[in-house]
Structure 1
Amino acid sequence: MSAGRRPASTPSELARAGDRLSFVYLERCIVHRDANAITAEDAEGTTHIPSATIGTLLLGPGTRITHQAMSLLGETGTGVTWVGEHGVRYYAGGRALSRSAALAEAQAHCWANRRTRLEVARSMYRLRFPDEDVNGLTRRELLGREGRRVKDCYRKNAERTGILWRGRHYTPGDFTSGDPANQAITAASQVMYGISHAVVTALGCSPALGFIHSGHELSFVLDIADLYKTEIGIPVAFDVAASAPDDAGPSTRRALRDRIYRLRLLDRVVDDIKGLLTAGGHNDAATDIDRVTVQSDHDAHLAAGFNQDEGATW
């Protein structure tokens, strides 16, 4: 069997990536296999889930998964990611959603060219601040506008919730050093990083190749998480700081968990990443190709698994 081929599947087992449930979250259960479905067994009974209908399986606290279940998930191209409660922490990832390298290659292509890297960065700012005209702005100008918008977001949410705001202060490694608002903002940031890391990895992208952040293994994760900072993370943080100042961290994580679920944010993150890396023209079929080729001259791609010596022109 060639490297890129999965075992043959029957028509009833197959499902387009676009038709799959993007993410299924499980916690406090045993995940096993029953024929072509995975099962989730807990105190209330056993639930059967057709594996080919899942894009990525998120395994939360208290889950155990069998070798047979992992074998089935691998055969159907389902990603597996170990996360915190309701996906608010990323711990480890099993594999990407698709065997196609299309998104990873698109990311590397955009990142490797200085012009396209800047264009993706501008697109990210357009998503964050749709009322801003960022055409033609330099990176320094983009950073300056971002700084002003984030400060305005802090100020407006402080006024909205009646919190006395003295500025953003965070000491790495010392969560309790900040006031309740700062603690809540830090907790919200951690949640968004966990969500973004899970999605980036599930799509097969590189967490390290960022377009705004740079030089860190999670640069692209930080880029994606910031897309939702002023819209979701900061407002929730101030709401919690105003209503539960003595429990800012845990309360923020729970509040964001619920908000993320209601907004179906995971699906939106998937669409945003695809749109950013493929200039808005993403196609699920183009990122779900189970095929291996070898590269030749002039961007030609030849079929893998064949000896190319006889009669080859490359």
Structure 2
Amino acid sequence: MNEPLPPPRPIPIKERLSVLYVEKGQLDVLDGAFVVVDVNGVRTHIPVGGVACLMLEPGTRVSHAACALAARVGTLLVWVGEAGVRLYSAGQPGGARSDRLLYQAKLALDDELRLKVVRRMFAIRFGQEPPQRRSVEQLRGIEGARVREMYKRLAERYKVRWVHRDYDPESWESSDRPNRCLSAATAALYGVTEAAVLAAGYAPAIGFIHTGKPLSFVYDIADLFKFDTVVPVAFEVAASAKANAEREVRLRCRDVFRRTRLLEKIIPTIEDVLAAGGIAPPEPAPDQVLPAIADKEPLGDVGHRG
């Protein structure tokens, strides 16, 4: 008699393919494998356990079994609009661990600790220490001015007509070509960054520079990599004669994620910026009830469900 197969265990984020896009198909599980069935009945197998983030575009339907399998193996499902923008919803493949969530929240709620974290983010992003005796708001203003200048310089390098960063997610075609390319590129970066944040056990909504959004911390961390990965790709494609610019951006972003080994860098960078606060994660309260049955050692990241 054959022994039943053990349940799938998450693969660490750093060993995964970054992102895949799916449109106009039915996602389901057949014989224990994740498949996409198109309108003609053609089946395409997806090694879902080896993918960090699956972007689901219009025309995609997902079965209950597929959602359950994605959750078990730690693949983030993200429902997006055409070209990978207009994020509608995301299925959480892991979740914030209480110790890391409390640690992140303590850093964000204390003004002095938050400033230390923001200063570290500034240093990583621009390769130099920020000016002394500046508030978070002042640092944000300096950052904004530098980012605008970086956009301007990239536009000059690739000979792209550039006005400013502006687009309307409700009217995609009203945006100019460079802005559409940038939106498609940053959407891919946000997807893999959110998957990494969840895998590390933190909360996407608790940001330090950004606030008030479901993905505030995702934007904070993604900004540290944006100009080294996806923004140059967006301007390069915008300057090309490619007919389907958004699709070309997505393909090139996937390549640059692999070439720069981005998924190996995100979680260590998260730990680095939070460590700048100089505090240790909080210990459980003495009167809290600890787990009666210890979890098995996971094969994936700490934020994945065991």
Length-normalised TM-score, structure 2: 0.67
Question: Deviations 1:28-60 (Å, cap 9, x if unpaired)?
Answer: 5754265xx6454768878696x9x76856364
Give the distance between the partners of 1:20 and 1:265, measured in 2 at CA.
Answer: 10
1:236-251 correspondence runs (5 A): 236-244=233-241, 247-251=244-248
| Partner SS state of residue 32, structure 1 | strand
Does residue 151 (structure 1) correspond to residue 138 (structure 2)? The answer is no
Give the distance between the partners of 2:174 and 2:55, measured in 1 at CA.
Answer: 32
Match of 1:232 in 2: 229
Give the distance between the partners of 2:54 and 2:180, measured in 1 at CA.
Answer: 27
Match of 1:303 in 2: 290
Correspondence for 1:205 among 202, 206, 213: 202
How far 1:212 sits from its partner (Å)?
Answer: 0.5
Preserved contact between residue 97 and residue 202 of structure 2 (Cα < 8 Å) = no
Report the residue type matching 1:136 in the other structure.
Q
Question: Deviations 1:51-84 (Å, cap 9, x if unpaired)?
Answer: 9x7685636457766545655666x563542355
Give the distance between the partners of 1:183 and 1:46, measured in 2 at CA.
Answer: 29
Preserved contact between residue 79 and residue 202 of structure 1 (Cα < 8 Å) = no
Report the residue type matching 1:170 in the other structure.
D
Question: Greater relative contact order (Cα 8 A, min sep 6): structure 1 or 2?
Answer: 2
Match of 1:274 in 2: 271
Give the distance between the partners of 1:240 and 1:181, measured in 2 at CA.
Answer: 8
User: What is the alpha-carbon root mean square deviation over aligned residues?
Assistant: 4.4
Preserved contact between residue 180 and residue 245 of structure 1 (Cα < 8 Å) = no
Match of 1:109 in 2: 106
1:39-188 correspondence runs (5 A): 39-40=34-35, 58=54, 60=56, 67-68=64-65, 78-83=74-79, 88=84, 90-97=87-94, 100-130=97-127, 132-134=128-130, 136-138=132-134, 139-165=136-162, 167-172=163-168, 173-188=170-185
| Larger deviation, residues 196-205 vs 152-161 | 196-205
Give the distance between the partners of 1:246 and 1:73, measured in 2 at CA.
Answer: 33
Length-normalised TM-score, structure 1: 0.66
Give the distance between the partners of 2:231 and 2:8, measured in 1 at CA.
Answer: 42
Structure of higher CA gyration radius: 1
How far 1:303 sits from its partner (Å)?
Answer: 2.4
Give the distance between the partners of 1:174 and 1:41, measured in 2 at CA.
Answer: 29
Give the distance between the partners of 2:192 and 2:101, measured in 1 at CA.
Answer: 19
Preserved contact between residue 199 and residue 269 of structure 1 (Cα < 8 Å) = yes
Preserved contact between residue 208 and residue 219 of structure 1 (Cα < 8 Å) = yes
Does residue 189 (structure 1) correspond to residue 186 (structure 2)? The answer is yes
Give the distance between the partners of 1:210 and 1:220, measured in 2 at CA.
Answer: 4
| Partner SS state of residue 81, structure 1 | strand
How far 1:189 sits from its partner (Å)?
Answer: 3.4
Give the distance between the partners of 1:14 and 1:40, measured in 2 at CA.
Answer: 18
Give the distance between the partners of 2:237 and 2:275, measured in 1 at CA.
Answer: 37
How far 1:243 sits from its partner (Å)?
Answer: 0.8
Correspondence for 1:218 among 199, 215, 225: 215
Give the distance between the partners of 1:91 and 1:204, measured in 2 at CA.
Answer: 22
Q: 1:154 to 1:97 in 2, by over 3 A?
A: same
Report the residue type matching 1:134 in the other structure.
P
Report the residue type matching 2:218 in the other structure.
V
How far 1:248 sits from its partner (Å)?
Answer: 4.5
Q: 1:265 to 1:296 in 2, by over 3 A?
A: closer
| Partner SS state of residue 207, structure 1 | coil
Give the distance between the partners of 2:144 and 2:108, measured in 1 at CA.
Answer: 23
Preserved contact between residue 25 and residue 57 of structure 1 (Cα < 8 Å) = yes
Q: How many pairs are equivalent?
A: 278
Match of 1:310 in 2: none
